[in-house]
């Protein structure tokens, strides 16, 4: 989460990938440390073990890739910010180890290019752009209808680079290990473009998309820490803290679930009143509605407040609307229409700063909505696990933190040591689908849509 913006900024420049083997090697050496102690404060609970299922599939694909027989894209689930580190561990440690055990000869490096959100460098700093560039990463502006430079570069790398490419088809992390958000069509489209580019170059490689699932589990369920976190959220929100004897239920999970629902209802009620009173939004007091219905209505209201300010229509699902608002907001802040910000006279500079600051404030409504796009009413009810409780509480923590401290986003509490499980799915042949889809433009669009649906099904089935 970037700090509050109070002045106009220069345009966001594209950061070209400059894969550097020295940076890559050093990162591989430091990877176990990064996994355990990714953020401050030090000595926090991180990831202590990473397991991979069907890693031999990837080892074989890398061998075929290096032999010039196939091209492939890794389409990985993106539930949270630790996923890239886990994918890096998979490729740099697990796949080479499995290949050695199975007698599969691989050349160094076993690595991949990857797409990342350009906005990450805004809250993390310019150093992250430098680092990702040297690791082979490409920034993409998610809200743009067509980020031509990023897409063209990704297309070129997919067809011609000496290593594959990895993309999160959900477009961002949704905070849920066991829910796959709607997929964006970019991954499928890249696959078809790659086949097309190979045919034009009279090359015979087969193109695959490889679904990869990433999930997390606690080594020991941290129920005591979850209880304390829930209590902290109650206090921070202004809700009175209830003791266990005031609630019904025999198990700690049942009691905590009741407290979680009570907290959610309270926060939603407060936000409804906030939008009624200060943004003049029509939100009828309807206590008969389910919590999830009220949440969705509230999310729609928050997006409308921002859309009305930027004068854009409400189109698509919550994720689509968030992406469009991000790009429009950035156009007010990172001004491509100003050649030199410092050459502006004070009057025009003041106006530009004013617009940038107000745009940043309006976008904060969208950021709140963005955190809740995958929240469902039944996620915890279906399985009252520590993992699902933790994911839901951390989403609420993020929301309260964004509102409570606009200048600095507090680090998430580390609840306990975790294991990551990565599952490699069956590679999906894009080449076969390409030849079947030849005809008119409508057939091609349908093929991209169908491949996206099939990929979503495969990722859903990989969840355990």
Q: Which letter, b or e, does each residue of 126-143 get, where b requires 16 or more Cβ atoms within 10 Å of its Cβ?
A: eebbebbbbbbbbbbbbb
What's the token pair of residue 448? 């991209």
Q: Which helix (H) or strand (E) holds 420?
A: strand 418-424
CA distance 80 to 47: 13
Pairing type for strands 206-218 and 428-429 reads antiparallel
Q: Are 372 and 295 in contact (CB under 8 A)?
A: yes
Indicate whether this model's pTM tops 0.85.
yes
- Beta-carbon contacts of 22 under 8 Å, excluding residues fewer than 6 positions away, are none
Question: What's the number of CA atoms in the CB half-sphere (13 Å) around residue 278?
Answer: 7
Tens place of pLDDT for every residue, the chain, 464 residues? 456 788 999 999 999 999 999 999 999 999 988 887 654 433 344 888 999 999 999 999 999 999 999 999 999 999 988 899 999 999 999 999 999 999 999 999 999 999 999 988 888 888 999 999 999 999 998 865 678 899 999 999 999 999 999 999 998 888 898 999 999 899 999 999 999 999 999 999 999 999 999 999 999 999 999 999 999 999 999 998 866 555 555 565 666 888 899 999 999 999 999 999 999 999 988 877 889 999 999 999 999 999 999 999 999 899 999 999 999 999 999 999 998 999 999 999 999 999 999 999 999 999 999 988 888 878 888 888 999 999 999 999 999 988 886 666 667 888 889 999 999 999 999 998 988 777 667 778 899 999 999 999 999 999 98
**Sign of the CA dihedral running 381, 386, 390, 391:** negative
CA distance 458 to 449: 14
The domains of the chain, with CATH numbers, are 21-219+418-462 (3.40.1130.10), 223-404 (no CATH)
Q: Which letter, b or e, does each residue of 230-244 get, where b requires 16 or more Cβ atoms within 10 Å of its Cβ?
A: beebbeebebeeeee
């Amino acid at each position: 989460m970037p700090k509050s913006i109070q002045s106009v900024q220069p345009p966001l420049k594209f950061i070209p990938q400059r894969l550097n083997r020295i940076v890559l090697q050093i990162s591989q050496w430091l990877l176990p440390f990064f996994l355990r102690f990714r953020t401050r404060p030090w000595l926090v609970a991180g990831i202590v073990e990473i397991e991979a299922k069907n890693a031999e599939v990837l080892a074989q694909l890398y061998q075929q890739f290096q032999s010039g027989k196939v091209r492939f894209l890794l389409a990985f689930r993106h539930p949270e910010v630790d996923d890239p580190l886990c994918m890096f561990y998979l490729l740099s440690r697990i796949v080479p180890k499995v290949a050695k055990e199975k007698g599969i000869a691989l050349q160094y490096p076993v690595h991949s290019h990857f797409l990342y959100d350009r906005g990450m460098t805004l809250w993390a700093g310019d150093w992250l752009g430098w680092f990702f560039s040297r690791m082979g990463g490409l920034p993409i502006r998610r809200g743009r209808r067509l980020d031509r430079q990023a897409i063209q570069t990704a297309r070129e790398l997919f067809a011609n680079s000496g290593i594959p490419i990895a993309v999160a088809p959900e477009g961002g992390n949704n905070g849920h290990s066991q829910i796959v958000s709607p997929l964006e069509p970019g991954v499928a489209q890249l696959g078809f473009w790659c086949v097309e580019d190979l045919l034009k170059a009279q090359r015979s490689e087969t193109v695959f998309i490889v679904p990869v699932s990433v999930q997390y589990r606690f080594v020991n369920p941290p129920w005591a820490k979850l209880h304390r976190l829930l209590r902290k959220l109650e206090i921070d929100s202004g809700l009175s803290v209830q003791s266990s004897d005031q609630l019904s239920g025999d198990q700690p999970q049942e009691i905590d679930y009741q407290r979680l629902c009570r907290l959610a209802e309270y926060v939603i009620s407060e936000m409804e009143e906030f939008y009624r009173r200060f943004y003049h939004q029509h939100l009828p007091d309807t206590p008969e509605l389910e919590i999830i219905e009220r949440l969705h209505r509230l999310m729609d209201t928050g997006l409308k407040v921002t859309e009305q300010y930027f004068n854009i229509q409400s189109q698509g699902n919550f994720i689509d609307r968030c992406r469009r608002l991000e790009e429009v907001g950035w156009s007010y802040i990172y001004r491509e229409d100003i050649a030199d910000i410092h050459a502006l006279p004070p009057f025009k500079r003041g106006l530009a700063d004013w617009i940038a600051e107000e745009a940043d404030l309006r976008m904060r409504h969208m950021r709140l909505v963005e955190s809740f796009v995958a929240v469902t009413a039944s996620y915890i009810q279906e399985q009252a696990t520590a993992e699902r409780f933790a994911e839901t509480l951390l989403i609420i923590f993020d929301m309260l933190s964004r509102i409570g401290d606009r200048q600095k986003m507090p680090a998430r509490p580390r609840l306990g040591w975790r294991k990551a499980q990565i599952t490699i799915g069956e590679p999906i042949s894009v080449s076969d689908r390409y030849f079947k889809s030849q005809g008119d433009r409508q057939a091609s669009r349908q093929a991209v849509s169908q491949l996206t649906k099939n990929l979503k099904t495969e990722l859903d089935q990989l969840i355990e």
